[in-house]
Structure 1
Amino acid sequence: MLNKKNIISICFSAIFLVLQSCAVKKFIPEGERLYTGAKVEIEADSVIANKQSLAAVLEQALRPKPNKKFLGMRPGLHFYYKMQQEKPGFINRFFYKKIGEEPVYQSDVEPYEVEDILRNRMENRGFFYSEVSSEFKEQEKEAAAIYTVKAPTPYTIASYQLDSLPQPINSQIEQSVSETKLTKGMRFDLSNMKLERERIDRDLKQNGYFNFNPGFLIFEADTNQYDRKRFDLFLRLKKNVPQKAIVPYKISKINVYANYDVQDSTVTDITEFNGRYYVNSAAHFKPKYLDPFITLEAGKLYSPEDSRNTARRLSTIGAYKFVNIQYKEKDSLLTDSLGVLEANIFLSPLNKRALRAQLQAVTKSNNFAGPGLALTYSNRNIFKGGETLNTTASVGYEVQVGSGSNSGNTSVDLGLKQELIFPRVIFPIKINTDFFKYSIPKTKASLSVDYLSRTKLYALLSGTAQFGYLWQANKFVSHEIIPISVNYTKPSNTTPEFEAILDENPFLKRSFDQQFISGLNYSFTYNEMIDASKTNQIFVNTTLDVAGNSVSLFGKDNDTGTKEFLGLEYAQYAKIDLDFRYHFKFGKDQLIAARLFGGYGYAYGNSEIVPYVKQYYSGGPYSVRAFRIRSLGPGTYNNEANPNSNYFDQTGNIRLEANIEYRFPLFSFFKGAIFADAGNIWNSIANPTYGGKDKFTSNFINELGMGAGVGLRVDVQGFVLRFDFAAPFHDPSLMEGKRFNFNVKETVFNFGIGYPF
């Protein structure tokens, strides 16, 4: 079993092996030099637009690629040489299998072949008759290549026009060419012409040209009219293009196979609904519920966008494992101006019932550790409308390990939750689904009961009921609104120790008093991180939580000066969170990740303080990692001065955090990280128990807890096990003047699943 000591040992062993990999020069054979790469120098007769882009294209063409480097070293090459020894050893064999690579020497470079490739790249970008030369820059055991490219004045576009084409495609391409990005004065560039053909092809496809492809278009350049490296550019169709490629197609009929089985294609019934034909649907999925997800329409021209939208919307239902849309051409109905398609939508359903088990081994930063088990039973398409009923039962047991007075404390957590998801809007007033172009909102209703028992403290029984909607507006934006959210929490079996803590902290006691929470939640998410190709990625999530306003209309005064609803004292507050993340990707699998978080809770009306379950805490594996969970703050409070204090009373209604992390590959599925965190929590109204140290002021910058550390991650196809080691270098609980101290002896080990941000 991995523990803190074992993991540290592994990390240092890996670092030692990497450092050893710098000594590869002694293994290079006599008469050889290690090839360290090449660079391209461009000498131009005129100013080159986008010169950096041109240089990048030329550098990509350089061959061969040198051996990989990491922090100035070549570990892959090191383990290759170690494998050549008579007894390489287990460790060398293991690392060679994972990252080893054969050496690339100067003798492996063919400079004349590379020169030909560079000349070709230059000609493709309008620099005809370029001259390329090469030389080696040699050292004792290493050699680098330098390629010098002499670029003449490039050829530029004088005009761009379309040759006459047959109708109806001539009008369509003419319209597309009118929106071209190929303009007068642009440099000759084959890649731009390829992009232009693909753009025109997309326009044609969107307007029904089902059988067209960009390879049917050809560009011709005419330089005969000019003396100064200019040319006329003509676009035309290639010869012998099939007739069916130059006419648009319309959809004549739509067949929806709602319960498709490739091994049994027997047709038992066909139902027509809204101009579409539903095959074998009546007993499986009601057509009136399935129909709104389909954007294809009979009588309209073929559109790949409508096809993609339909496939995506059907996939979001949650009842189908495969969505396959095929088009069948009706050749007998083809004319010189129009073709006909029949659309067939094949939907392969998931198993109606499924059972999923999750077994967890939990390790928390407050030294609680133990197993957890969750069983989820899913019943899909329960009302023949794509609905999913999930029933989850969970049990967890944790024990607090380590030294100290709290060692041996246990925690038992039991939960039961039922969740019913409708792939449509359930609302008293009918809502037109045409408004939702990207996806149809889902309606979610849930009911859950949880029981938590902590030895020497208390037991907590809570019930939650929610009803709301989830909606994805486009690829990046999603909304979740829960207009009905009711939570009731009842503490029981409180121990004298816990009662003593509450008596000493009136704010904490008051936060446990209001056990009934009824309100509204709204969450907005903008997520660019789903697009792995983007260099700069942004994630923004903001959440609004408002409680108590609706029930306050029916509240009645009680003896304590507050109001009750149905005999329960209710909470009234507003809370808003903002989570901003930024990822910058560079190199190969290297990433700078940054995060800013701000949260504020405001109690009003029937509440003096935000309920305990809605308050913030700081520290832990997903927060400021140099401090244990719930151990940071509030403000400059030091819990060591209070012997009765425990982690659960270090909460506040204001939270600010900032994190930055550099992530880089090590070898195979092992990745490393260097990070720094800062943050804290405060109270907007001082808690007398903390002596005013918890109040938020303009001096908050000097009250941030700060730490830095290193991490090791095991990333297997997106499943991440994370081991982080962090030490504080600014502890706000210490006296001023002693807060800045990088205390390695206080290193905190954090274990987590997934990346922190």
Structure 2
Amino acid sequence: MFPSTQLSVGFAKQQNIGLDKENLTGAFTYNWIPKRNNTVKFDLFSIQYVKNINISNYFNVYRSSYSALNAISKNYTVPEEYYDDGNLIINSGTDGFLNDVLGENPTIFTTTNDFREIRSIQERKERLTENNLILASSYSFTKTTKTGILDYNFYVFRAKIESAGNVLSLLANASNQPLNDKGNRTIFDIEFSQYLKTEFEYIKHFELKRQNVIATRVFLGVAVPYGNSNNIPFSRSYFAGGINDNRAWRPYSLGPGRSGSQNDFNDANLKLTLNAEYRFNVTQKIKGALFVDAGNIWNFLDNIENEEAKFNDLSSLKDIAVGSGFGIRYDFGFVVARFDVGFKTFDPAVNTEQRWFRDYNFSNSVFNIGINYPF
């Protein structure tokens, strides 16, 4: 069964971009092959600690949040020292305005809609700037019928289940660890994440003739927070768009739901993706492709209140976005260079009568450069 045991430890430090992060990871993993073409991976534990160093840079990085907050502030009487050249100063002005609206003793009273948006901006800021402690265990299973690189009729099935935070919850409760200002348990003054996550992926290739192939994929993933958490850490959440996803949207620019990608980096805890691609030979080395990508991300059973971003029931599937396009690939033998052009075919974020083929032109297309096939 070719069993192996792997112990890994890693440390990464990122500076001069974003919030500047330190990322400490570790894992103890078992791998084995119970049957031919079946593989199993069991993470007895994997730990990740993410520390944000430059939190004060938040509104410089997440400009859409800053723009929304700045626009709302101009509707109210705000202390002059919060402004410079007519805009909120980062950080004294933005933090001052947030505190004046959301603090224990507010001095600025807004409309209900503005208050909800300001509170949403503050909650997202807290989520993306907080340090994360994740201790998880996971089980992954993969089955394939592919017999070699020249096999063009095969399928791949992958399934994964991951549970995080249960051990830390037991330790924190048993040792009576302190609560933070949100009422959640902490370990070493860090709020730990607790969630259950599961993923399924099915890939099927059909060879028509002479290496002309129809390739399809279905992916479904959902992560549900509970216990000590009411949302999923950014590093474990889902995003939509990009070179291996819906190629008519850039990474993080699709969804959630029909909310219209209001943030700079849009993420959620439920994802559905469907892809179909017709691959054909142009020459021995040059390949062509026609593709259709569909899917989206949604917020599900977490603390997001925006109805346009939430998955409520099967009716939310009407928010699935569709992209289509074509691609050119060059086969070097050991690797494939890929260039795809995606067009927005159905955009759920715009008015109903404008959703189909509204931006189906080269000026609104998305160019994708990648290595090897997307699935």
Q: Same fold (TM over 0.5)?
A: yes
Could you give the per-residue CA deviations for residues 50-93 of structure 1, whole angstroms, max 9, x where no partner exists?
xxxxxxxxxxxxxxxxxxxxxxxxxxxxxxxxxxxxxxxxxxxx
2:369 matches 1:751: yes
Change (3 A) 1:474 1:496: closer
TM superposition shift of 1:533: 6.1
The equivalent of 2:328 in structure 1 is 712
Deviation track 1:417-464 (CA, whole Å, cap 9, x = no partner) reads xxxxxxxxxxxxxxxxxxxxxx23101011111122353x31111000
Deviation at 1:686, TM superposition (A): 6.9
Distance 1:623 1:514 in 2: 28
Equivalent of 1:636 in 258, 269, 273: 258
Q: Which amino acid aligns with 1:569?
A: E
Report the Cα offset of residue 532 of structure 1: 4.9
Change (3 A) 1:529 1:508: farther
1:472 maps to what in 2? Answer: 33
* Alpha-carbon separation, structure 2, partners of 1:657 and 1:737: 24
Aligned partner of 2:299 in structure 1 is 683
Per the alignment, residue 8 of structure 2 pairs with: 446
Aligned counterparts, 1:586-597, within 5 A: 586-597=208-219
Partner residue in 2 for 1:245: none
Q: Which amino acid aligns with 1:677?
A: D
For the pair 1:484 / 2:45, whether they are aligned, the reply is yes
SS of alignment partner, residue 166 of structure 2: coil
1:579 Cα deviation after fit: 0.8
* 1:493 correspondence with 2:54: yes
User: Is the contact made by 2:230 and 2:302 (CA closer than 8 Å) also made in structure 1?
Assistant: no
Q: How many residues align?
A: 311
Partner of 2:2, secondary structure, is coil
Q: Name the residue aligned to 1:166.
A: none
* Alignment of structure 1 residues 272-671 onto 2, 5 Å: 439-453=1-15, 455=17, 457-494=18-55, 495=57, 497=59, 498=61, 501=65, 504-507=121-124, 509-510=126-127, 512-513=129-130, 515-532=132-149, 536-555=153-172, 556-560=177-181, 561-639=183-261, 645-646=263-264, 648=265, 650-671=266-287
Amino acid at match of 1:510: R
Secondary structure, in 3 states, of the residue corresponding to 2:235? helix
Report deviation, 1:468: 1.1
Q: 1:473 to 1:487 in 2, by over 3 A?
A: same
* Aligned-residue offset at 1:716: 1.7
CA distance in 1: counterparts of 2:290 and 2:301, whole angstroms: 36
SS at match of 1:529: coil
Whether the 8 Å contact between 1:686 and 1:695 is mirrored in structure 2 is no
Deviates more, 1:616-625 or 1:691-700: 691-700
Match of 2:308 among 672, 684, 693: 693
Q: Is the 8 A contact 1:464 1:487 kept in 2?
A: yes
Is the radius of gyration larger for structure 1 or structure 2?
A: 1
For residue 617 of structure 1, report the CA deviation from its aligned partner: 0.1
Query: Is residue 38–residue 143 contact of structure 2 (8 Å, CA) maintained in 1?
Result: yes
Q: 5+ residue gaps in structure 2?
A: 67-97, 99-120
Match in the other structure for 1:728: 344
Q: Secondary structure at the match of 1:557?
A: coil
Q: Pick closer, same or farther for the CA change 1:514–1:601 going to 2, 3 Å.
A: farther
Query: Conserved in 1, the CA contact under 8 Å of 2:219 and 2:274?
Result: yes
Shift of 1:701: 2.5
| Cα 1:481–1:496 shift into 2, 3 Å | closer
Kept in 2, the 8 Å contact 1:507–1:687? The answer is no
Please give the residue correspondences for 1:19-58 in structure 2 after superposition, counting only pairs within 5 Å: none
Q: Deviations over 1:16-37 (max 9, x none)?
A: xxxxxxxxxxxxxxxxxxxxxx
Q: Deviations over 1:645-690 (max 9, x none)?
A: 31x2x1000000100000011112111101000010000147667x
Give 1:574 shift: 0.8
Over 3 Å counting, the alpha-carbon distance change for 1:592 and 1:605 in structure 2 is same
Change (3 A) 1:596 1:559: closer
Aligned equivalents of 1:693, 1:746: Cα separation in 2: 24
Q: Tell whether the 8 Å contact from 1:488 to 1:516 is kept in structure 2 after alignment.
A: yes
Alignment partners' CA distance in 2, 1:512 and 1:612: 10
The change in CA–CA distance for 1:619 and 1:505 in structure 2 (over 3 A counts) is: farther
The answer to whether the 8 Å contact 1:448/1:465 transfers is yes
Query: Is 1:707–1:729's contact at 8 Å kept on the other side of the alignment?
Result: yes
Q: Tell me the CA shift for residue 732 of structure 1.
A: 1.2
**Whole-Å Cα distance in 1 between the matches of residues 163 and 303 of structure 2?**
23
Is the Cα contact below 8 Å between 1:548 and 1:573 reproduced in 2?
A: yes
Unpaired segments of 5 or more residues in structure 1?
1-438
Contact 2:152/2:211 (<8 A) preserved: no
TM-superposed CA distance for 1:718, in Å, is 3.7
Q: Write the distance in 1 (CA, Å) between the matches of 2:200 and 2:330.
A: 29
Compute the displacement of 1:535 (Å): 5.7
Contact 1:511 1:609 in 2 (8 A): no
Q: AA paired with 1:756?
A: P
CA contact under 8 A between 2:152 and 2:213: conserved in structure 1? Answer: no
User: For 1:458-481, what per-residue CA distance to the aligned partner results, in whole angstroms no more than 9, with x for missing partners?
Assistant: 111100011111112233100011
For the 8 Å contact 2:165–2:194, the answer to whether it is kept is yes
Does the 8 Å CA contact 2:22/2:51 hold for their aligned counterparts? yes
- Give the match's secondary structure for 1:449: strand
- Give the SS at the match of 1:523: strand
Contact 1:447 1:465 in 2 (8 A): yes
Q: Is the 8 A contact 2:184 2:228 kept in 1?
A: yes
2 CA distance for matches of 1:477 and 1:448? 28
Q: 1:513 to 1:525 in 2, by over 3 A?
A: same
Aligned to 2:247, what secondary structure does the other structure show? coil
Write the distance in 2 (CA, Å) between the matches of 1:653 and 1:546.
14
**Structure 1 residues 686 and 484: CA distance shift in structure 2, 3 A:** closer
Q: Secondary structure at the match of 2:229?
A: coil
- Identical pairs, percent: 30
Is the contact between residue 507 and residue 609 of structure 1 (CA under 8 Å) also seen in structure 2? no
Decide whether aligned partners of structure 1 residues 471 and 686 sit closer, same or farther in structure 2, where only a CA change above 3 A counts. closer
C-alpha distance in 2 between matches for 1:545 and 1:557: 26
| Equivalent residues of 1:686, 1:692 under 8 A apart | no
1:557 corresponds to which letter in structure 2? P
Question: SS state of the match for residue 282, structure 2?
Answer: strand
What is the DSSP-based 3-state SS (H/G/I as helix, E as strand, rest coil) of the residue aligned with 1:613? helix
